[in-house]
Chains A and B, each alone.
Chain A
Amino acid sequence: MNWAVVAVVGGTVGLDATSFPQVMISRPFVAATLTGWALGDPASGAMLGALHEVFNLAVLPVGASRYPEAGTAAVAATAGLLAAPVSWATVLVTLAFALGWERIAGATVVGFRRGIEPLLATAAGEPLPTPRLERRHGLAILLDFLRAAAVSTAGAGLATVLVTALASRVALTPTVIGTAIAVAAAAALGGTMRVFGGWTDQRRAFLIGAALACLFLVLR
């Protein structure tokens, strides 16, 4: 694995989530596809990213709330996935890892935000004068990049160890794992409906979409 690539992609993805520029390459689907592309297998990255994304569709960064950092976790999990031949077992291990690691990554965001508080005031606790404000703001962005790069790289290392150690020892058939992941993804997708206003408000749009998809599948 190219650790420098993981660090750069992870740092960029982590930066995008909050600091700069928030164009949403930090979404798990995009981040995992990007990592897969950088490591030579975008399709596998996208597959893992799509599953990871489904679990994060309804997670909203409202106000100053604390939430999992899914982007860097997607980078780490994809790097772990591509460290071994891709199978249902490696997908299960890396998806479970991503859903856990995003909480640890989210905790580093909270720590980082607390950690930079002294940076944004003078020694006396007063607001910063003009030139120092610009420098400190830029420094905070740089530090966030380094945090995200470290979180992604550490996560990629751990994910690689887990995939190598566990994937070949998961004594479940691909059918069982595939069914379980599809069922879990469907439940998470269903849960997203509340974000759009819920069943009562949006059932018509939902049912039209479902009917069209069923029609397409029958005609195909």
Chain B
Amino acid sequence: MTAVSFPARTRAAMLARCFAVQGSFNYRTLIGAGFAFVMLPALRHAFRDRPAELDEAVRRHQEPFNSHPYLVGIAAGAVARLEAEGAPPNVLDRFKGGLRGSLGSLGDALFWAGLRPACMLLALATFALGAPAWAAALAFLLPYNAIHVAARAWGLHLGFRYGAGVASGLRSAPLGRAGLMAARSGAFLLGVLIPLVAAGALSGGVPLLAAPLVLVAAVLGLVVGPVVRGPVTIGLALLLVAGLLVWALS
């Protein structure tokens, strides 16, 4: 059984369903039901004329499972091929268990911690440079989704192509290099944006003293890391309260 054994319509239906894989995300089975939902077109094809086996397979695939949503096609394609090859349920369970952790961490590093913030920094820098709102939004949406949608399609294709050997297919793909490139681009764009924020504060009528303050705050953020978000949020809330107190006392 190879990728071509599944009709194009079946593969297209699976790809479309991948976009809704987290539609029933819950803390009991995570994306278990969503994974079975994605698998259904392939299972219907593999078990056509065998409704009892189809129902049994659909129930099996509702067991707890998790993956990065953009890479779930890798698991779905590979498992679909194994199902069509007649792999026993315990083999399928072990296979899914093995993929679960790696697809999650790979996708988190590549998309959530790499591509997404990097593309968003590109949009924010575009906006800070004076581009219209719609153009800045598109500066995020277009590159991000071009890569995201391509990754979904590629993942499903990879799964169908390699089946049980999908781990070797993943190893030969330059995903690590792509993650590194996204992180490097993000750091570069962060470097671009911070001076633009300082300059924007100046042009927004804020006194000259604000620019060094902005830069000191940025350095503080660099040192402290994402936990700076909490104190800064509280600081903004306290500023609002202080403003109201001044009004109340005046």
Contact across chains for B218 and A187 when beta carbons are under 8 A apart: yes
Is the CB of B244 closer than 8 A to any CB of chain A? yes
A residues less than 8 Å from B217 (CB atoms) = 183-184, 186-187, 190
- Shortest Cβ gap from B76 to chain A (Å): 14
Contact across chains for B40 and A130 when beta carbons are under 8 A apart: yes
Q: Considering the chains assembled together, what is the distance between the CA atoms of A166 and B241 in angstroms?
A: 10
Contact across chains for A24 and B141 when beta carbons are under 8 A apart: yes
Grouping DSSP codes into helix (H, G, I), strand (E, B) and loop, the A interface class, with mixed when no group exceeds half, is helix
A171 with B246: in contact, given A120-B28, A184-B235 (CB under 8 Å)? Answer: yes
B residues less than 8 Å from A54 (CB atoms) = 124
Q: Considering the chains assembled together, what is the distance between the CA atoms of A193 and B189 in angstroms?
A: 10
Contact across chains for A192 and B236 when beta carbons are under 8 A apart: no
Contact across chains for A207 and B137 when beta carbons are under 8 A apart: no
A residues less than 8 Å from B250 (CB atoms) = 171
Contact across chains for A113 and B213 when beta carbons are under 8 A apart: no
Contact across chains for B140 and A191 when beta carbons are under 8 A apart: no
Contact across chains for B218 and A194 when beta carbons are under 8 A apart: no
A residues less than 8 Å from B33 (CB atoms) = 120, 128, 133, 136-137, 140
Q: Considering the chains assembled together, what is the distance between the CA atoms of A126 and B219 in angstroms?
A: 54
Contact across chains for A29 and B148 when beta carbons are under 8 A apart: no
Is the CB of A4 closer than 8 A to any CB of chain B? no
Is the CB of B193 closer than 8 A to any CB of chain A? yes
Is the CB of B116 closer than 8 A to any CB of chain A? yes
Contact across chains for B112 and A60 when beta carbons are under 8 A apart: yes
Q: How large is the interface on B (under 10, 10 to 19, 20 to 34, 35 or more residues)?
A: 35 or more
Q: Which residues of B from 185 to 227 have beta carbons under 8 Å from A?
A: 185-201, 204-207, 209-210, 213-215, 217-227
Contact across chains for B137 and A170 when beta carbons are under 8 A apart: no
Grouping DSSP codes into helix (H, G, I), strand (E, B) and loop, the B interface class, with mixed when no group exceeds half, is helix
Is the CB of A21 closer than 8 A to any CB of chain B? yes
Contact across chains for B214 and A182 when beta carbons are under 8 A apart: yes
A21 with B104: in contact, given A127-B62, A194-B225 (CB under 8 Å)? Answer: no
Residues of A in contact (CB 8 Å), total 102
Q: Considering the chains assembled together, what is the distance between the CA atoms of A130 and B58 in angstroms?
A: 6
Cβ-defined partner of A202 (8 Å) among B36, B187, B209, B246: B187
Is the CB of A40 closer than 8 A to any CB of chain B? no
Contact across chains for B26 and A117 when beta carbons are under 8 A apart: yes
B-contact bits for A150-188, CB 8 A (1 contact / 0 none): 000000000000000010011110111111111111111
Is the CB of A46 closer than 8 A to any CB of chain B? yes
Q: Considering the chains assembled together, what is the distance between the CA atoms of A180 and B121 in angstroms?
A: 21
Q: Considering the chains assembled together, what is the distance between the CA atoms of A116 and B26 in angstroms?
A: 7
Most B CB within 10 A of own CB, among A18, A33, A92, A189: A189
Cβ-defined partner of A189 (8 Å) among B25, B133, B190: B190
Q: Considering the chains assembled together, what is the distance between the CA atoms of A134 and B22 in angstroms?
A: 13
Cβ-defined partner of B144 (8 Å) among A24, A50, A207: A24
Is the CB of B54 closer than 8 A to any CB of chain A? yes
Stretch at the interface among A5-13, A79-87, A209-217: A209-217
A193 with B221: in contact, given A128-B62, A137-B33 (CB under 8 Å)? Answer: yes
- Shortest Cβ gap from A200 to chain B (Å): 11
A residues less than 8 Å from B112 (CB atoms) = 60-62
Can you offer 10 A-B residue contacts whose CB atoms are under 8 A?
Answer: A29-B120, A127-B36, A133-B62, A181-B236, A184-B233, A187-B217, A187-B232, A203-B187, A207-B191, A212-B191
